[in-house]
Amino acid sequence: MGGPTVTFEQAVAKYDPVLGLEVHVELNTETKMFCGCPTTFGGAPNSQVCPVCLGLPGSLPVVNADAVASAMRIGLALNCRIAPWSRFARKNYFYPDMPKNYQISQYDEPIAVDGYLDVDVEGETYRIGIERAHMEEDTGKSLHMGGSTGRIHGADYSLVDYNRAGIPLIEIVTKPITGTGDKAPEVARAYVTALRDLLRALQVSDVRMEQGSLRCDANVSLRPSPEAVFGTRTETKNVNSLRSVERAVRYEIERQADVLSAGGVIVQETRHWHEDTGRTTAGRTKEEAEDYRYFPEPDLAPVAASEEWVEQLRATLPEPPAQRRARLQQDWGFTDLEMRDVVNAEAVDLIEQTVAAGASAAGAKKWWLGELARRSNDSGVALADLGIDPDGVARIETLIAQGSLNDKMARQVIDGILAGEGTADEVVASRGLVLVSDDGALTAAVDEAIAANPDVADKVRGGKVAAVGALVGAVMKATRGQADAGRVRELLLEKLGVEG
């Protein structure tokens, strides 16, 4: 089946898109939402379970106080009102990865309501209204085995891992996002990006989309004009990368415009995003709230957040990420383009820590966005997980500034650190990396280079000073890259009687 015949430009010219984004955030508490099981990612299947998170008869949930505090801090950071009284509810539905056949969530009395988050897209600020942020527990994970897609269709059998069941979740639901026009996909991505940065600053989640600790459900509908009533929406589930959020919204706008332009109707349903094809496919008909038969959770007392508690948590909020980036950009003297590159590389924290360890901002950026970014891309490993920390990068930059290393030798030091050979100083010592800048040690190599390349030497003497680069290269090769290239150039020009 082919894709939409209506282009994105045609779609937004004819219809007004309306978005609604639901972001699920796994909290980084040590234990689950309602029991004492650990929340470590990557454990052996069904090794982090107990009667409570397995929903066994007679087991009773107990609320994780740290999770409640994290939920309140998230709400405050999103400019929400913290409810003085909120309670849990049972959300009834039947999936193999739901051991109780209901999920403990919140319904009509959530912990945080009526907030906003401002995001910038191409110099324009969009205020994204927050309807609610509520607490709930995550489900387990179904693994469909034997098929080619990892989905249930075509699988030979399915397995269920309940390690994730019961992990604390915060679901953050926006109000309808209108007025974005052709910027709708970019606004969706910018919102999830800003939300991820805020959650990371709060230190309430590791927000690793590739591991599922941050997941986005994107609701999209179209209407003929901004004055018309909202159209029928679809919900694309569990989109797990920033790029995919943008692509999924763009595709769904095109697809719905294609259906409507052909005289069809949009079915209210969930849809699955396929990263490989860049398309969504139909899932199930979307339920309404009454289909879940919500009712108050009888085994849990309501959460009563006192004003004193709320203010104590408000005092723990960090500097807002956008404000912090603006301050750091000014401190570092970066241009808007340079700062954008730093943000896109997710290197703000790394550079800040490297500068704090003694490096210059320019030097820190040079290594994190240059050599280390290249290695990160080649290996598919995030910069922060590469195996070299800000202290190590700062020490390398210091050794360069002291004249003990050049850039080529610094890359060898990085090789050693990543290979587990120790600290920067230990790698320098074990590999014998010493920058040769003593004139006595360099003179012989300079004389040999001139003698071996008489034609080049004559060009330099004749005024083609740029040709000295070939002689510098010869000296660097002879010294295995350990000569001070700047001093080598000076000596060569002196020997050849030319002013640099």
The CATH number linked to 460 is: 1.10.10
Same structural domain, 467 and 335? no
Same structural domain, 35 and 170? yes
Same structural domain, 295 and 348? no
80 within domain boundaries:
yes
The pLDDT of residue 283: 84
Share the mean pLDDT of the chain: 91
Same structural domain, 237 and 97? yes
328 within domain boundaries:
yes
Q: Which domain holds residue 363?
A: 322-407
500 within domain boundaries:
no
72 within domain boundaries:
yes
Q: How confident is the model at residue 2 (pLDDT cuts 50, 70, 90)?
A: low
**Interval 290-339: pLDDT, tens:** 778 999 999 999 999 999 999 999 999 999 999 999 999 999 999 999 99
**Interval 58-71: pLDDT, tens:** 999 999 999 999 99
Q: How confident is the model at residue 187 (pLDDT cuts 50, 70, 90)?
A: very high
In angstroms, rounded to a whole number, what is the distance separating the alpha carbons of residues 216 and 192? 8
Same structural domain, 24 and 117? yes
Residue 160 has pLDDT above 80, yes or no: yes
Same structural domain, 168 and 82? yes
Same structural domain, 186 and 232? yes
Best CA proximity match to 424, nearest among 434, 439, 414: 414
The residue among 313, 348, 369 that closes a domain is 313
Same structural domain, 385 and 448? no
The residue among 265, 280, 313 that closes a domain is 313
**Interval 9-22: pLDDT, tens:** 999 999 999 999 99
CA 438 to each of CA 22, 435, 441, 479: distance values in angstroms, whole numbers, following the listed order = 64, 9, 5, 12
The pLDDT of residue 96: 83
CA dihedral 49, 52, 54, 57 (to 10 degrees): 140
Residue 487 has pLDDT above 80, yes or no: no
Same structural domain, 286 and 354? no
Mean pLDDT of 228-239: 94
CA 109 to each of CA 22, 67, 287, 304, 308: distance values in angstroms, whole numbers, following the listed order = 17, 17, 20, 11, 20
Same structural domain, 22 and 131? yes
Same structural domain, 189 and 284? yes
The pLDDT of residue 479: 73
Give the number of domains in the chain: 3
Residue 229 has pLDDT above 70, yes or no: yes
Best CA proximity match to 214, nearest among 236, 196, 234, 190: 196
Same structural domain, 215 and 358? no
Best CA proximity match to 27, nearest among 36, 39, 35: 39
